Amino acid sequence: MSAEGRGTQAGRITLLLGIHNHQPVGNFEHVFREAYDRCYRPFLDLLGEFPSIRVSLHYTGPLLDWFDRHEPAFLDGLRSRVANGQVELLTGGYYEPILASIPSRDGMGQVKMLTRQLKRRLGADARGLWLAERVWEPSLPGLLGACGVDYTLVDDTHFQAVGLKPESLRGYYLTEHEGTTLGIFPISKRLRYLIPFRPPEETIEYLRQLGGDGPAAITYADDGEKFGLWPGTYRWVYDQGWLKRFFSLLEQNQDWITTKTFGEYRAQTRPTGRIYLPTGSYEEMMEWALPTEALLEREVLIGRLESSGLKNAASGFLRGGFWNHFLVKYPGINLMHKKAQYVSDKLALKEKSSGRSKAKWMTEARQELYQAQGNDVYWHGLFGGYYLNYLRHAVYQHLIRAETLVDTHTTGSAVRLTETDLDRDGYPELLVETTQMNLYLKPSDGATAIEIDYRPKAVCLTHVPMRRPEAYHQKLKLPPASSASLPAGTAPATEGIPSIHDRILVKPSAADHRLVYDRHPRWSFRDHLLRSDTTLEQFETSRYENFGGFSDQPYGTEAAKPGREKAVLSFSRTGAVRDRSLAVQKEYTLLSSRARLDVKYIFRCPRLTPDALSLTPYFWAVELNLTLLAGADPKRYYRFPGKTVDDAQLRSTGVLDEVTEAHLVDEWQGIEVRLEFKPAARLWRFPVETVSQSEEGIESNYQGSCLAVLWPLAIPLKENREGLITMEIIER
């Protein structure tokens, strides 16, 4: 019997359809255009052919802004669907932040900002909220209630964590925190994997099974990009007619399937029950948040359970990690997150002191801050996220603009020195800020520079991720024949297409790339004492011997003095080098009126004994990690005055001797980073490339360039030695 003829045998089903549409701040213009042409527009157009089908839609602020600039007619059509009741619009954080990870004042501000925009532009009174990445914390009802939100959506995984079975979940539930109640709709994972990847008849059949025990309401909610933008989906969803067949089947089965919006259902129906949920997200996200070793162990365990037929029975007891662990797993994510918190605190303090009188610049600064809080770059899983350098660049760009607005109206042109535990690891950092540059130093980790910004152009020069093991690196060991499932767009219309969760695609750039893992986060001005026979290849692949603990052990802070013209910060460390010792003084000088940083080293050997006569040759290597975004762009390149190189691309590898200058040029951003070395040094350079996963497959991505400045040191020293590195950023 066909799915169309089962209405008399099935209990009534209310299908609650929710579609979330989002593009992150900093994404390329052509991606917005492609998403509109292949996904957002055709979906809404086809929905218009089926007026009886009701859906709840969520569009984030970056998309609404893009539509308003480039496709205002799309918003006009959306407004008419809202007016006739076919579409309900959900609110959320304007720039799609993880609400539980940002200050509550910012979370409330972002939600209210989107709610106002939905009302102004689309005539919608949004009472439901799309929770970014469905990252739930039990305290959220208070924040959401203060924003006028009545209900939200989370995954059935959240409910499994308290012992409920996905197949038993119906309608919506009520939770509360400190007396504020909130409705919660459980999203069906089964439907997320059926829609739109399996033939629509399978979804109808699943709904029929759910209705076998009587009337039921079930929630489907997921990314709108699955309907045309994910690999292979445009041909399947539109060319091969999946979406039209799905909508047609829903219309043909209206005798037992009803579609409603979440708001409509909640207004007409009592809650199924009361619920209290622990912190969580959807199952895949909680897997990705685990430490790599634990994630691999979990995969092995699930494989064993599956082979023994116990996977389904055990699934409710196999929780993954916790979203906040991304801040532990990736030091660079934590630094971005804490920088955003630091800027938010700066702005909030200034707003508090101004009372009710809010200047225009404060509104501008807050919008810049909000744009930097978009979630996409603060985690990594199936999607590129953190490993997409242009998204990291956008986050820092907006943060630097926000703090520049605050500082301009607070401290003017003064040099500012702040001692604070910025990254919340229990050790203080030193933050030096001028109108030209930011310099953040970490004495507990080699007195390294964890952030260097050029403020006039709002550019962070140092956001280079470390190369670290990822669970999916195991897939690079697969034989070539198994490196991909169904190619994009080739699946027969009767069989479905693979979700990107099921695809294993390894791009040639990753298949041929060596897996190299770093010992330390890629901060700049990290010091190394190396054997004199150490090679560039050994250094690049982390196969070198380091002496004295200079690379990652604490330096003592000798002085930190901000002045009118400059700030001087001095550090020291004495390290054991076999049976001798080496004392190093490291002094940063940041000028107030120019984008110039001097880093001076003084080397000496204390307590020299008479029998220490033989000299052992070493190299003192200072590691810099800088990013100008593109490694092969002809408008971004190296210049070595007085030297000839075959390849000047930023992704090039090479060794140069007797170097006094190295320039990194970015014609696109109109800046040049000039490095000078005294005395002349040997210079190593190589690209920092990560093997990372995205919806397109596992690929190799350029993240930045590493330069190592090497001076020879023969220990014990017969006399004190000095070295100087000057970094200056100029506009072209």
Is the Cβ–Cβ distance between 707 and 626 less than 8 Å? Answer: yes
Over residues 354-381, the mean pLDDT reads 92
Per-residue pLDDT tens digits for 344-361: 999 999 998 887 777 899
Q: CA 218, CA 191: separation in Å to the nearest integer? A: 9
Phi, psi of 364 (to 5 degrees): -65, -45
Alpha-carbon distance values, 446 to 426, 525, 571, 579 (Å) = 16, 8, 9, 22
Per-residue pLDDT tens digits for 304-333: 999 999 988 888 888 899 999 999 999 999
For the chain, the farthest-separated pair of C-alpha atoms sits apart, in whole angstroms, at 101
Contacts of 698 (CB under 8 A, 6+ apart): 472, 475, 476, 505, 506, 507, 510, 691, 692
Write down the catalytic residue from 37, 65, 202, 223: 223
Burial class (CB in 10 A: 0-12, 13-18, 19+), 407: buried
Res. 599 pLDDT band, cuts 50 70 90: very high
In 189-335, the DSSP E strands lie at 216-223, 257-260, 273-274
- Among 709, 653, 703, 662, which Cα is nearest to 681's? 709
Per-residue pLDDT tens digits for 166-194: 989 999 999 999 999 999 999 999 999 99
Percent of the chain with pLDDT over 70: 94
Q: What pairing do the DSSP bridges indicate for beta strands 273-274 and 616-626?
A: unpaired
Per-residue pLDDT tens digits for 48-104: 999 999 999 999 999 999 999 999 999 999 999 999 999 999 999 999 999 999 999
Residue given tokens 């000028």 in the structure block:
591
Count of CB atoms situated within 10 Å of the CB of 579: 9
CATH class of 526-731: mainly beta
pLDDT of residue 503: 61
Paired residues of 707 in beta bridges: 624, 685
Residue given tokens 């093997």 in the structure block:
691
pLDDT of residue 611: 55
Q: What pairing do the DSSP bridges indicate for beta strands 87-89 and 180-187?
A: unpaired
Q: CA 3, CA 166: separation in Å to the nearest integer? A: 23
Is the Cβ–Cβ distance between 563 and 415 less than 8 Å? Answer: yes
Helix (H) or strand (E) holding 299: helix 292-307
pLDDT of residue 483: 34
Active site residue 223: yes
> Is residue 1 scored above 50 in pLDDT?
no
Percent of the chain with pLDDT over 90: 81
Active site residue 133: yes
Buried b (16+ CB within 10 A) or exposed e, 33-62: eebbebbbbbbbebbeebeebbbbbbbbbb
Q: CA 470, CA 385: separation in Å to the nearest integer? A: 14
pLDDT of residue 80: 97
Residue given tokens 């043909």 in the structure block:
252
Burial class (CB in 10 A: 0-12, 13-18, 19+), 607: exposed
pLDDT of residue 564: 81
- Of residues 581 and 53, which shows the higher confidence score? 53
Query: Side chain identity at 576, as an amino acid letter?
Result: A
pLDDT of residue 495: 76
In 115-239, the DSSP E strands lie at 128-129, 151-155, 173-177, 180-187, 216-223
Helices (H) and strands (E) in the chain, counts: 21, 26
Q: CA 698, CA 17: separation in Å to the nearest integer? A: 31
> Is residue 607 scored above 90 in pLDDT?
no
- Among 723, 26, 715, 72, which Cα is nearest to 374's? 26
Q: CA 442, CA 427: separation in Å to the nearest integer? A: 8
Average pLDDT, the chain: 92
Q: CA 242, CA 128: separation in Å to the nearest integer? A: 28
Q: What is the DSSP letter of 506?
A: B
> Is residue 477 scored above 60 in pLDDT?
yes
Contacts of 145 (CB under 8 A, 6+ apart): 180, 181, 182
- Of residues 422 and 487, which shows the higher confidence score? 422
Res. 135 pLDDT band, cuts 50 70 90: very high
Q: CA 109, CA 61: separation in Å to the nearest integer? A: 13
Q: CA 347, CA 352: separation in Å to the nearest integer? A: 9
Q: CA 146, CA 60: separation in Å to the nearest integer? A: 20
Alpha-carbon distance values, 714 to 133, 481, 602, 668, 711 (Å) = 55, 53, 14, 43, 10
Is the Cβ–Cβ distance between 241 and 228 less than 8 Å? Answer: no
Q: Where are the domains of the chain?
A: 3-280, 526-731
Is the Cβ–Cβ distance between 60 and 96 less than 8 Å? Answer: yes
Structure tokens at 16: 């609650």
CATH number for the region 3-280 comes to 3.20.110.20
> Is residue 2 scored above 70 in pLDDT?
no
Over residues 140-154, the mean pLDDT reads 98
Torsional sign, CA 320, 326, 331, 334: negative
Structure tokens at 446: 């080699």
pLDDT of residue 509: 73
Is the Cβ–Cβ distance between 155 and 282 less than 8 Å? Answer: yes
Write down the catalytic residue from 88, 133, 287, 540: 133
> Is residue 8 scored above 50 in pLDDT?
no
SS3 of 432-500: EECCCEEEEEEHHHCCEEEEEEEHHHCEECCCCCCCCCCHHHHHHHCCHHHCCCCCCCCCCCCCCCCCC
Per-residue pLDDT tens digits for 693-717: 887 788 889 999 999 999 999 988 8
- Among 225, 257, 259, 280, which Cα is nearest to 58's? 225
Q: How far is CA 2 from the centre of its chain?
A: 45
Q: CA 415, CA 419: separation in Å to the nearest integer? A: 13
pLDDT of residue 382: 82
Alpha-carbon distance values, 711 to 623, 678, 717 (Å) = 12, 9, 13
Residue given tokens 């897997």 in the structure block:
287
Which three-class secondary structure state does DSSP give residue 1? coil
Res. 514 pLDDT band, cuts 50 70 90: confident
Q: What pairing do the DSSP bridges indicate for beta strands 180-187 and 416-420?
A: unpaired
- Among 427, 422, 625, 424, which Cα is nearest to 520's? 625
> Is residue 488 scored above 70 in pLDDT?
no
